[in-house]
Structure 1
Amino acid sequence: MVLLNPVVLSVLTLALLSLFRVHVIFALVVSAIVAGLTAGLPLADTINTLISGMGGQAETALSYILLGIFAAMIALSGITEVLVQYLLRVIKEKKFVLLFLIAGLTCLSGTVIPVHIAFIPILIPPLLILFNHLGIDRRAVASALTFGLKAPYMVVPIGYGLIFHGIIASEMEKNGMPIAMSKIPLAMSIPVLGMIVGLLIAILFTYRKSRKYKDVEIKDPVKDAAEEIAVTTEDKPGVTSKNKKLHAFTLISIIAAFVLQLTFDSMVIGAIGGITVMFLSRVVYLKTGDRVVQEGMLMMGAIAFIMLIASGYANVLKETGSVNEFVSSASTWFDGSSHLIAAFALLLIGLFITMGIGTSFGTIPIIAAIYVPLCAALGFSTLATAALIGTAGALGDAGSPASDSTLGPTAGLSVDGQHDHIWDTCVPTFIHYNIPLLIFGTIAAVVL
């Protein structure tokens, strides 16, 4: 019975524990144990499998730490303070403009400026007082941030999108259905329309009304560090002529990180390049190395560790063989079904798998191995199959307690203790993005 499958039981456990506000680290560990025990693995073997699988996200975790350090350096340069002050002058009382601007800026974090979620704990906390003044519901901000983290990689073949599209193309070819990477943006264009619809509904309708928050003084360790270890020994961060020059070097370091990431297809190399430029240009002195590492760890360390545990959890699901059993059992639903019903059912399976694993990129190989032969047998076109695989992988990235697309927004919005990870980030993003993705992904599979 599908409902007794270890994957189903484990993901339900993860969802329930998260909804009851159990910390995501404990929820992941308990859910992994549930998956192992219900699949017949001894407790010791389950834990060993969890630990051994944590290396699967080692590169991602390292890149997050390095990007956190790089982002701390960018903050220490004072350039983010200049950006925040500019936003305060331009936006004024235009809260909807601010929300869409945040979504747009976030889109750049996975494409042009390769810092991904590391910018959120730097940019968002200084804006919380402005959000409070404008009565902005932080669930709308979380929705804007998650959109910017997720939509670009689905359709734009730059930065994270280049990696995502590359995985889809290579896994489809590996399973006997080759596709040119240039066609994947077309396949994903309709599902991304669903993301846009979800963003508009969240900002303009669901969270349109004002929501009151207390003005809490936030201790900003990065800002404090900027005061203590100023950009130079004489100057404080700001807009002096010397600091304008340093801001220019900061922009050069960002460009260097972007170019290196694309050249070597590695976030780690990109982050190291950006950090190196910051040191060589003396935007940040070598003697401050200990401090920027501490600030980077403070911002991104917890998220990196959660990603490691999520990788171990995914390893438990894979090692038990429960994922393949779940998909194989569910595939019997398609006998005699129309393309519409089959596509919707396939996406539901993808949602369940990705919600548990928490990463769209890591889910693609699992999904493609089953979807490609099944879609070929059902008569789906190559474009439709790519749309189903890409959408199924992206499903659950929003709404999953262990996804960087939800952990990142919470890291910035919860610094004053007035934003809950599950109810204010995961639930809103699940509703506004996963439901439209299910609908628009199904449409894409039928019309392509």
Structure 2
Amino acid sequence: MNAVLLTIAVMIALCLLRVPVPIALISAALLGGLHAGMDTGTAIAALNDNLLVGAQVGMTYVMIGAFAVAIARSGLLDLFAQKIAARVGTDKQATSKGMKWMLFAIFIACSLMSQNLVPVHIAFIPVMIPPLLAVFNRLRVDRRAIACILACSISFSYLLLPTGFGAIYLNEILMANVNEVGSAYDLSMTADMAPKAMFLPVMGIVAGMLVAVFITYRKPRDYVATELTEDAGSNAKQVEVKPLQLIATLAALAVALICQLQFDSLLVGAMIGFVILAAAGVFRWRAQDDVFTEGMRMMAQIAVIITIASGFAGVLDATGEIAPLVEASANLIGENRALGALIMLLVGLFITIGFGDSFASVPILAPIYIPLALALGFSPMATIALLGASAALGDAGSPASTITLGATSGLNADGQHDHVKDSVIPTFIHANFGMVLFAWVAAMVL
């Protein structure tokens, strides 16, 4: 059996058995290396020698985590939630259809900003959503629609807009891997190519979100008005934010964005933003270590997985069995590019579902997908679209994904929103089916 196929199959199997993803990646990589005839020391060396690219991205994640926690400590998110809860707090206001659509628009805007402008990732969800559950109940909103809005909006924001987490995915991961692997095949990628290549796949996510809101979960759904729900709404009105904290937070966000755009470094921008918040007294000076550690803990799993995934890809390359696999796959598919694109997308979906992170999927898929796509005759733009979409498929909808976990953390504050039935399955269907279709079209027309 081909060592690359064996390695990926073992990795997926271990992830599905709920083995910790880092252990699954390392174990599968070493097993694949041994199967290819490498000794243990050589396999470990191949793993270690390729950790650098992933480690750089991982450090950025850690710093963003610290910055996100610092922003949360500033009270900005609580203030925003308070204003929304106060705006929709009366029975008269909270029963109008216009209010429902306004809330949906706010969730989309907040999801976009959480990835690109105010890089707090999913931290805004457990702050903003619980105070509004009582309002959702009065509006009879199906919370599955909200889960789809949150998951789809978060996904298409980092897949299309090259700032914040989008800069990490599109530039530091996708572009870096395309240029590294593609150098052997005369394929190079520039930053302006990523949004163009990902536009059609992202429109598939948007289409899925619209189907969820206007068709699948359009009908009213009733929930029990619990004491916990009402308490969450009332607690949101007790937040007080000092003007200095608010000004410092806005300044930190502005400086972080400027540094990101000017120096193309989200790590530096997040670090400077963190320092500004600390110096302004948003949290106690002595609490800096605690804030940083909390942020690091929030992002540690993703950072570690991305780092190890780079080493995993290095072992795949070191086996020397990628080229035979690509050649065999190309011969099997023949000239049927449509079938080839569909298979690549579905395999990417299956892999990402296994460990629930699109950022770590790119370095795993790139060594195989780039030569295979080029061998099948796909253009450079189509190749980028196939790789970027294949890695992103399954992120929204995986039980282990931070996106679906974040949606559940907010919507299940009163115990009436099941993680699998109400978050995982709805987001999997609506975010991924549309993306598969539109990404397939992108591969055929680009």
Runs (5+) with no aligned partner, structure 2? 89-93
CA contact (8 A) 2:278 2:284 kept: yes
Match of 2:103 among 87, 98, 101: 98
Instruction: Specify the alignment match of 2:272 in structure 1.
Output: 273
One-letter code aligned to 1:115: V
CA distance in 2, matches of 1:40, 1:367: 17
How much has 1:74 moved relative to structure 2? 3.2
How much has 1:10 moved relative to structure 2? 4.4
User: How do 1:112-151 and structure 2 match up within 5 A?
Assistant: 112-151=117-156
How much has 1:202 moved relative to structure 2? 1.7
Instruction: Specify the alignment match of 1:152 in structure 2.
Output: 157
CA distance in 2, matches of 1:410, 1:326: 40
One-letter code aligned to 1:215: T
Instruction: Specify the alignment match of 1:210 in structure 2.
Output: 221
Instruction: Specify the alignment match of 1:284 in structure 2.
Output: 283
CA deviations on 1:212-271 (whole Å, 9 max, x unpaired) are 2553638x99x99x99xxxxxxxx9526xxx23431222112212223344454444333
Instruction: Specify the alignment match of 2:340 in structure 1.
Output: 342
CA contact (8 A) 2:65 2:298 kept: no
CA distance in 2, matches of 1:137, 1:340: 37
How much has 1:412 moved relative to structure 2? 3.4
CA distance in 2, matches of 1:363, 1:101: 30
How much has 1:446 moved relative to structure 2? 1.1
Instruction: Specify the alignment match of 1:363 in structure 2.
Output: 361
Instruction: Specify the alignment match of 2:209 in structure 1.
Output: 199
Secondary structure, aligned partner of 1:400: coil
CA deviations on 1:117-147 (whole Å, 9 max, x unpaired) are 3333333333333334433333322222222
CA contact (8 A) 2:78 2:127 kept: no
CA contact (8 A) 1:303 1:407 kept: no
Secondary structure, aligned partner of 1:80: helix
How much has 1:195 moved relative to structure 2? 0.7
CA distance in 2, matches of 1:272, 1:140: 36
Alignment of 1:354 onto 2:352: yes
How much has 1:303 moved relative to structure 2? 5.4
CA contact (8 A) 1:359 1:397 kept: yes
Match of 1:304 among 300, 307, 311: 300
CA deviations on 1:58-117 (whole Å, 9 max, x unpaired) are 666665555454444434433333312322344534224312321221111221222223
One-letter code aligned to 2:82: Q
CA distance in 1, matches of 2:288, 2:188: 47
CA distance in 2, matches of 1:399, 1:130: 26
CA contact (8 A) 1:109 1:116 kept: yes
User: How do 1:183-194 and structure 2 match up within 5 A?
Assistant: 183-194=193-204
One-letter code aligned to 2:297: G
User: How do 1:220-239 and structure 2 match up within 5 A?
Assistant: 237-238=239-240
How much has 1:291 moved relative to structure 2? 6.1
Q: With structure 1 as the length reference, what TM-score do the two structures score? A: 0.76
Q: Report the CA distance shift for 1:365/1:40 in structure 2 as closer, same or farther (over 3 A).
A: closer
CA distance in 1, matches of 2:290, 2:27: 40
CA contact (8 A) 1:96 1:203 kept: no
CA contact (8 A) 2:33 2:315 kept: no
Instruction: Specify the alignment match of 2:250 in structure 1.
Output: 251
Instruction: Specify the alignment match of 1:177 in structure 2.
Output: 187
One-letter code aligned to 2:120: V
Question: Which is further off, 202-211 or 326-335?
Answer: 326-335
One-letter code aligned to 1:304: A
CA contact (8 A) 1:199 1:432 kept: yes
CA distance in 1, matches of 2:402, 2:264: 19
CA deviations on 1:140-178 (whole Å, 9 max, x unpaired) are 222222222211222222233233333444414524222
How much has 1:199 moved relative to structure 2? 0.7
CA deviations on 1:327-370 (whole Å, 9 max, x unpaired) are 66654431232x22221122122223333353333333443333
How much has 1:13 moved relative to structure 2? 5.6
Secondary structure, aligned partner of 2:124: helix
Q: Report the CA distance shift for 1:126/1:254 in structure 2 as closer, same or farther (over 3 A).
A: farther
CA contact (8 A) 1:198 1:436 kept: yes
Q: Report the CA distance shift for 1:66/1:125 in structure 2 as closer, same or farther (over 3 A).
A: farther
CA contact (8 A) 1:152 1:161 kept: yes
Q: Report the CA distance shift for 1:132/1:5 in structure 2 as closer, same or farther (over 3 A).
A: farther
Q: Report the CA distance shift for 1:402/1:59 in structure 2 as closer, same or farther (over 3 A).
A: farther
One-letter code aligned to 1:192: V
Secondary structure, aligned partner of 1:399: coil
Secondary structure, aligned partner of 2:168: helix
Q: With structure 2 as the length reference, what TM-score do the two structures score? A: 0.77
CA distance in 1, matches of 2:356, 2:263: 25
Q: Report the CA distance shift for 1:68/1:121 in structure 2 as closer, same or farther (over 3 A).
A: farther
* CA RMSD after TM alignment: 4.2
User: How do 1:356-395 and structure 2 match up within 5 A?
Assistant: 356-395=354-393
